[in-house]
Homo-oligomer: A and B are copies of this chain.
Amino acid sequence: MSLRYALLALLRVGPLSGYELQKQFSLSVGHVWHAPDSQIYPELRKMEAEHLIEGEEQPRGQRATRRVYHVTDAGEQAFLTWMHTPLEYARVRDPAHLRAAYLEAAAPDAARDFFRAHINQWERELAQWEGELLRIDEVANPMLVRRLAVTEPEDRERTIAFKRFTYEGLVDRARGEISWAKRGLRLIDELQHAGSGVRSDPNSAHV
């Protein structure tokens, strides 16, 4: 259900074709809500069928066309209503912590690989989100620029502040995951030393 609101959020800044939308999507909202084009195009059609958006066929070159969508009043309403409705949280479903809970079944090296991969995964997300923070501060994100262009001056501060705040939260989360995984690596070392004779060494401080 969130996909359509992610799309509405983008379209609210002004008309966009499915293709443009899909491109901008992966550079903005896509950072918090991933969706492939094979999901975006059909969803746009569905939203059009429900009159949340309207598409207009535009000529492109000689033979081709493209469909440019804009938000209807009903769509704007739907977006605002969603904004004022309690969120539905997805149930926990976390493969990394699932595996971590049973790492005693893995060889220490495999456990290390797992944590290294976890670090790697979140380092990449972190880089994305930190990059986005920079682009917010420099007002360099194209969608943010378009957004600000259609925003009342007195609302611009808020608009920027919430985006900044969102990405700060994501950055914090990524750092949390990374530091957890680093502690995991240390834990494996400690357990291995404990296991190989040093058993109850009071100096092998546990976290």
Contacts and interface: CB of A to CB of B under 8 A. Distances in A.
A129 to B, nearest CB: 10
A19 interface: no
A131 interface: no
Contacts of A2: 93, 95, 98
A99 B163 CA distance: 10
A169 B100 contact: yes
B34 A87 contact: no
Question: Could you say which interface size class chain A belongs to?
Answer: 35 or more
Number of identical protomers: 2
A30 to B, nearest CB: 8
Interface in A67-117: 79-80, 83-84, 86-107, 110, 113-114, 117
B191 A161 contact: yes
Contact of A104 (B91, B99, B159): B159
Given A33-B95, A83-B102, A168-B180, 20 more contacts: A2-B93, A5-B99, A9-B101, A33-B98, A83-B99, A83-B106, A83-B110, A87-B117, A88-B95, A100-B165, A100-B166, A100-B169, A101-B166, A104-B159, A104-B161, A104-B162, A154-B195, A157-B195, A161-B206, A169-B180
